[in-house]
Structure 1
Amino acid sequence: MSRSSKGLLVLGLVAVFAAFLAMPMLTVRALVAAAKAGDEAALERLVDFPAFRESAKTELTARLMSEMREDSRSHDSALGGLGMMLAPMLVGGAVDALVNAPTVAAMVRTADLPDPADSGAPPPPVEAEGDGDIRQSYGYRDLNTFVLRLTDPDRPDEPLKLLLKRQGLFGWKLAGIDLPEARPETAAT
């Protein structure tokens, strides 16, 4: 193999490695752009909705169970135990009804979870939301998971982490969520 052939081979391998590392960042940029534009078709291509729903169900159920365990009122009643048994079903139904392209777009624009009370209401117009202040950071969690961290400056301790998972060698899709830790309620003064 000649010296120029080896150089081209090395250059080609470097280009493939750079593309391998850069693809999730390009997917994040496309996801954010589609969310800001309200482009549902693009969001449908960029989100693995079944995996995202399962992740949201797991996260929300864990948070709800944790909050119920910490609530002293739930320990004192039979209703508390019933609530802990029914919580996964209730969360599952709400997630199935809520998680769609407009909801994901709103999450990306606001760094906030949707309010289940708004499930029947149409999503607010894109211009009505102050999406310019949301801070974005991202990085690899592992070789097959890339994290987009969205932080509202008004709630810096409650970042929303969206997880992109590798789909094949170069493809990435939004497939999970890490919710901010539930903050204990403080007594109003």
Structure 2
Amino acid sequence: MKGLIKGVVILGVVAFLIAYFGTPILTVNNLVAAAKAGDEAGLERMVDFPAFRDSVKDELTARLMAEANADPDVRSSGLGGLGMMLAPMLVSGAVDALVTAPTIAAMVRTADTPDPEDVATARTPEPESEDKDIRQSYGYRDLNTFVLGLTDPDRPDETLKLLLKRQGVFGWKLSGIDLPEKAA
């Protein structure tokens, strides 16, 4: 009898650990399937839009500032300084308007990253005529952050990283993004 109880407890612990560490992979598979099917309602359930938008804003603002700081004409110009001050506001407004379920679906299907110039001019991504063969990679950043890496074989050095954050014990939502380093 003690052996049976011990076996059930061990089986329960193993099942919990499998569910605890395996649920982000199920969420990623559901996210990719919803993106490919164009299931906007499904994507909206799997994305924490306020957190995701904040992450996109931070990433794009940092990229714009780095590009502006690298340009000597912008650094030395008074108007360049004004532009650097206004850039976060422009990015913020555009990201709020453009980061929607279809935009996220396009990012997942194509591994295309938001471009600061596209955001500044408020252009939505063009729909792809056919699905690309996007490579996926998975991994934990920490116990509460799971990373889905998306790489287009045509651009192997540019991996878009979508960050899923744990919601409760077994729930996960897309909550952030790490943009790839811009190729020189």
Give the fraction of aligned pairs with identical amino acids, expressed as a percent: 70
Matched, 1:87 2:87: yes
Q: CA deviation at 1:26?
A: 0.2
Separation in 1, partners of 2:121, 2:26? 31
Q: How many residues are matched?
A: 181
Q: Distance in 1 between matches of 2:165 and 2:120?
A: 30
Q: Which residue in 1 is equivalent to 2:131?
A: 130
Deviations 1:96-125 (A, max 9, x none): 01100000000000000244388466852x
Report the TM-score, using the length of structure 1 for normalisation. 0.91
Task: Find the counterpart in structure 2 of residue 98 from structure 1.
Answer: 98
4+ runs deviating over 6 angstroms: none
- AA aligned to 1:130 is D
**Counterpart check, 1:16 vs 2:16:** yes
| Aligned residues of 1:64 and 1:87 also touching (Cα < 8 A) | yes
Q: Which residue of 1 aligns with 2:163?
A: 163
Distance in 2, matches of 1:83 and 1:121, equals 23
- Please tell me the root mean square deviation across aligned C-alpha atoms, in Å: 1.7
Question: What is the TM-score with the length of structure 2 in the denominator?
Answer: 0.93
- The residue aligned with 2:119 is 116
> Aligned pair in 2 of structure 1 residues 86, 122: CA closer, same or farther (>3 Å)?
closer
> Which amino acid letter does the alignment assign opposite residue 93 of structure 1?
G
Distance 2:122 2:80 in 1: 25
What SS does the corresponding residue of 2:12 show, helix, strand or coil?
A: helix
Inter-CA distance 136–73: structure 2 relative to 1 (3 Å threshold): same
Any gaps of 5 or more consecutive residues in structure 1?
Answer: 185-189
Query: Which position in structure 2 is the counterpart of 1:78?
Result: 78
- The answer to whether the 8 A contact 1:109-1:134 is kept is yes
8 A Cα contact 2:38 2:102, kept in partner: yes
Is the contact between residue 110 and residue 129 of structure 1 (CA under 8 Å) also seen in structure 2?
no
The change in CA–CA distance for 1:121 and 1:13 in structure 2 (over 3 A counts) is closer
Q: What displacement does 1:130 show?
A: 3.0
Letter of the 2:183 counterpart: R
Residues 147, 163 of structure 2: 8 Å contact kept: yes
1:64–1:121 Cα change, 3 Å: closer
- Distance (whole Å) between structure 2 residues aligned to residue 183 and residue 167 of structure 1: 34
Q: How many Å apart are 1:76 and its aligned residue?
A: 2.2
Letter paired with 2:131: G
Where 2:7 maps in the other structure, the secondary structure is helix
